[in-house]
């Protein structure tokens, strides 16, 4: 019959081997991720040069190093909100939503439901338009831009307003 200490040492050894294997896998995944980041940055630079540098906005994001973030174009992905990130990185439709929620002056306004938001954006308050606004507002909320005080009622926390 094995001793308790022997069993513990055996399990510790197995756990250490698993940790080592996972760390090696993590290093490989980080290397792949880094190659994609470099590729995306390189393609972005090449595209910016081919357009004469338009849509480029210098931007510092909280993190390890300053990065240059391009102004978003229609159809681009909504980035996760981070300290120091301005609505200028959002696609135009999302910028308009943030602007409407912030009264266009960068200061938080009263919370708005999707119908009010659609009207503030100059859209007819018909179900199809309201649902489109709701979808975009929800996407922004999931990524940390506005807050949803209760289902369908959106507001902008201080410091995340419009004014792009």
- The answer on 25 and 104 residing in a single domain is no
Instruction: Tell me the pLDDT tens digit for each residue of 38-60.
Output: 888 888 778 877 766 544 444 44
Using DSSP's 3-state secondary structure scheme, residue 148 falls into: strand
Instruction: Tell me the pLDDT tens digit for each residue of 52-110.
Output: 654 444 444 444 444 445 555 556 678 888 887 888 888 888 889 988 888 754 555 67
Provide the domain count of the chain.
Answer: 2
- The answer on 85 and 14 residing in a single domain is no
- The answer on 68 and 102 residing in a single domain is yes
CA angle at 87 for the pair 111 and 32, rounded to the nearest 5°: 125
- The answer on 124 and 66 residing in a single domain is yes
- The answer on 14 and 29 residing in a single domain is yes
């Amino acid at each position: 019959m094995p001793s308790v200490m022997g069993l513990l040492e055996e399990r510790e050894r197995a756990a250490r081997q698993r940790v080592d294997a996972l760390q090696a896998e993590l290093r490989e995944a980080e290397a792949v991720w880094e190659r994609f980041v470099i590729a995306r940055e390189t393609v972005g630079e090449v595209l910016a040069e081919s357009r004469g540098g338009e849509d480029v906005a210098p931007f510092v994001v909280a993190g390890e190093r300053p990065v240059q973030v391009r102004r978003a174009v229609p159809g681009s992905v909504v980035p996760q909100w981070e300290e120091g990130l301005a609505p200028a990185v959002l696609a135009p439709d999302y910028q308009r939503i943030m602007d409407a929620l912030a009264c266009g002056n960068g200061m938080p306004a009263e919370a708005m439901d999707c119908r009010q938001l659609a009207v503030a954006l100059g859209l007819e308050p018909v179900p199809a338009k309201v649902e489109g606004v709701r979808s975009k507002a929800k996407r922004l909320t999931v990524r940390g831009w506005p807050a949803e005080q209760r289902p369908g009622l959106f507001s902008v926390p201080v410091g995340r307003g419009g004014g792009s």
